[in-house]
Amino acid sequence: MKDKLMLMIPGPTPVPESALLAMARGPIEHRSKDFTAILEEVTDGLRWLHQTTSDVFVFSASGTGAMEAGILNTLSPGERVLVGVNGKFGERWAEMSEQFGLNCERIETPWGIPYPVEIFQEKLAADHEKTIKAVILTHSETSSGVANDVQAIAAAARAHGEALVIVDGVTSVGAMPVLMDEWGLDVVASGSQKGYMIPPGLGFVAVSERAMAASQRSTFPKYYWSFELAQKSLKQGTTPFTPAVNLFYALQMTLQMMRAEGLEAIYQRHAKLAQATRAGVKALGLKLLVEPESAASPAVTAVMAPEGINADMIRSVLKKQFDLATAAGQDHLKGKIFRIGHLGFISDRDVLMTMATLEAALHTVGYSEFTPGAGTRAAADVLAHS
């Protein structure tokens, strides 16, 4: 049905009506006091969201652009970095690091298995010459639904003393705690179409004092991505290049919503939605890719298709009959898993709706090894008791 599609995917996520309508205002001059006021309000909200006193720069870009900015500003060609790789996004940051000539050491685990924190710890502890210049981490690995222990690895990097902590927070910021200052993170990159509840097009980079100091030493040439230009402009209440004004309107709106809800409440809501989703899925006899659940991201749940059934058949019924979008498995997990996003502008109702439609879709594709209503009931129980 036209315009009826509901996004239960890990981005783009649904956008509240108030934010959509905010975008339908004509753009204002970006070099004006009115825009400065928006930029300052938004920057203040972004600092709050990242729990940092440092700067958060907004680029007209996707989350990948934000990560590229993080790497190009704080490192130099040939420098040694440890990159955690346990999914498509970790792969991407390793590929990007190699593309830019970094000496990239991949710390790999299979998709669905969290980073081996102890290997990061050992490598950092053994690095007496301080050759490791950064650890590059994916906090919530969107391709598998794993949450990696960024906090513990950041602690090891702080003990090391030299290595910066560069974090892909694309599906973690706004969905789970990302305590920039308390954890000692140096770069946190994210994108607008996730926990921020607005459409894609803005990339965010929170940058610690250490990272800004590192940017003075970095020899990668840069212009569009320059932290130096971004910081200089931000101090004057502006941006170096024309900002995506209408996306700022939307962001202003959703940051106000987030502040009204409160950070703790946002984290609890996401944790509850994730728990309810997983309880529901398991009550339908399906397996989760990420076990134990403590290793899973509150943003997205990867579900294994039943034996002999292609996951994309389930997704197809969900989309065609029920106007419900879920995400496909990527690379070697294609057809084997489907992913349910439950981050951003998602409420209890959405999870029950997802369970109800999932039950029906499973039945349609020939899988019925569950008590009718078991998924919604199990999910509802979690929602009632948390």
**61-80 positions binding a second copy, by CB under 8 A:** 61-65, 68
Which stretch in 24-32, 44-52, 332-340, 375-383 sits in contact with a second copy by CB under 8 A?
24-32
The answer to whether residue 216 forms part of the interface with a second copy (CB under 8 A) is no
SS3 82: strand
Largest CA distance in the chain: 62
H-helix segments, the chain: 17-23, 33-50, 63-74, 88-99, 117-126, 150-160, 180-183, 209-217, 227-235, 245-261, 263-283, 311-320, 348-364, 374-385
Q: Work out the angle at residue 260's Cα, subtended by the Cα atoms of residues 10 and 145, and round it to the nearest 5 degrees.
A: 20
Using the Cα atoms of residue 218, residue 223, residue 227 and residue 228 in order, give the sign of their dihedral.
positive
132 φ, ψ (degrees, to nearest 5): -80, 115
Question: Shortest gap between Cβ of 100 and a second copy (angstroms)?
Answer: 5
Q: List C-alpha distances in Å: 333 to 60, 96, 305, 338.
A: 32, 22, 10, 9
- The string of DSSP codes covering 183-195 is HT-SEEEEETTST
Question: Shortest gap between Cβ of 200 and a second copy (angstroms)?
Answer: 5
**Pairwise CA distance, residues 231 & 208, whole Å:** 12
Q: Which is nearer to a second copy, 20 or 179 (CB)?
A: 20
Q: Which is nearer to a second copy, 12 or 90 (CB)?
A: 12
Tokens in use for 356? Answer: 């109800």
Which of 246, 252, 254, 297: binder of a second copy (CB under 8 A)?
A: 246
The answer to whether residue 151 forms part of the interface with a second copy (CB under 8 A) is no
How many residues bind a second copy (CB under 8 A)? The answer is 52
Question: Shortest gap between Cβ of 47 and a second copy (angstroms)?
Answer: 23
Which of 1, 223, 260, 332: binder of a second copy (CB under 8 A)?
A: 223
Question: Shortest gap between Cβ of 197 and a second copy (angstroms)?
Answer: 11
Q: Which is nearer to a second copy, 244 or 296 (CB)?
A: 244
The answer to whether residue 238 forms part of the interface with a second copy (CB under 8 A) is no
Q: List C-alpha distances in Å: 232 to 55, 182, 212, 235, 317.
A: 11, 26, 12, 5, 51
Question: Shortest gap between Cβ of 162 and a second copy (angstroms)?
Answer: 23
Question: Shortest gap between Cβ of 125 and a second copy (angstroms)?
Answer: 31
Which of 39, 83, 85, 96: binder of a second copy (CB under 8 A)?
A: 96
Which of 9, 56, 137, 311: binder of a second copy (CB under 8 A)?
A: 9
The answer to whether residue 20 forms part of the interface with a second copy (CB under 8 A) is yes
The answer to whether residue 244 forms part of the interface with a second copy (CB under 8 A) is yes
The answer to whether residue 37 forms part of the interface with a second copy (CB under 8 A) is no
Which of 163, 247, 284, 314: binder of a second copy (CB under 8 A)?
A: 247
Q: Which is nearer to a second copy, 25 or 130 (CB)?
A: 25
Q: Which of 317, 386, 306, 316 is nearest to 351 (CA)?
A: 386
- AA letter at 159: A
- Report the interface residues with a second copy, using CB under 8 A: 3, 5, 7, 9, 11-12, 14-15, 20-21, 23-32, 60-65, 68, 95-96, 99-101, 191, 193, 199-201, 203, 221-224, 240-247, 325, 328
